[in-house]
Amino acid sequence: MNDSDRIRQSVEKYGDMLYRICLVMLKNSADAEDAVQSVFMKLFMKVPQFESDEHEKAWLIRVATNKCRDMLRFRIKFHTIDDETLNSIDADEESTRLIELLTELPEKFRLVLTLHYIEGYKVDEIAQMIGRTASAVKMRLSKGRALLEEKYRKEFVNYEYVENKTLGR
């Protein structure tokens, strides 16, 4: 298999996953698409040899998260924040709202929660990908879940209050 076929296969195999990760991190579909394109351009330019599919997947996730961090730093430096809604995700309303709540969390929690719960990675795998210890990943998962639960609870309480007030209860 030549390099262009291998890269095409990688795009088909990992493109959607990388897009979801970038979308959660960047909160903007256009930026997420740009980040994913940059990741595959880097793969095309470097054409690294991987030990396994998992090694390739981990490399792509690492490059994608680094690209997203670079883009976020650029936004902060040049004040180009754009809070585009997540209408581009084809999911049910509850899943879409959960992803929206995820995007409101700090980046370090967003990333580990997305990798663990949406992409299905184990703690040790996430630790290796982001260059942290397994205990640090567990702590981020725990704190991230607590923050997510707090946000979800606040939204639910506000929704119940508005609904009760509207219905005259």
pLDDT digits (tens, 9 = 90+) for 86-122: 444 455 565 667 777 788 888 889 889 888 888 888 9
Distance of CA 130 to the CA centre of its chain: 13
Q: How far are the Cα atoms of 115, 137, 151 from residue 157, in angstroms, in the given order? A: 28, 30, 10
pLDDT for 81 equals: 41
What pTM was computed for the model?
0.55
Can you give the pLDDT at residue 95? 62
Give the residues of the chain that fall short of pLDDT 50. 80-89, 161-162
Question: Residue 64 and residue 105: Cα distance in Å, rounded?
Answer: 19
Angle between helices 134-167 and 123-130 (to 10 degrees): 110
Query: What pLDDT is attached to residue 28?
Result: 86
Q: What is the pLDDT of residue 83?
A: 46
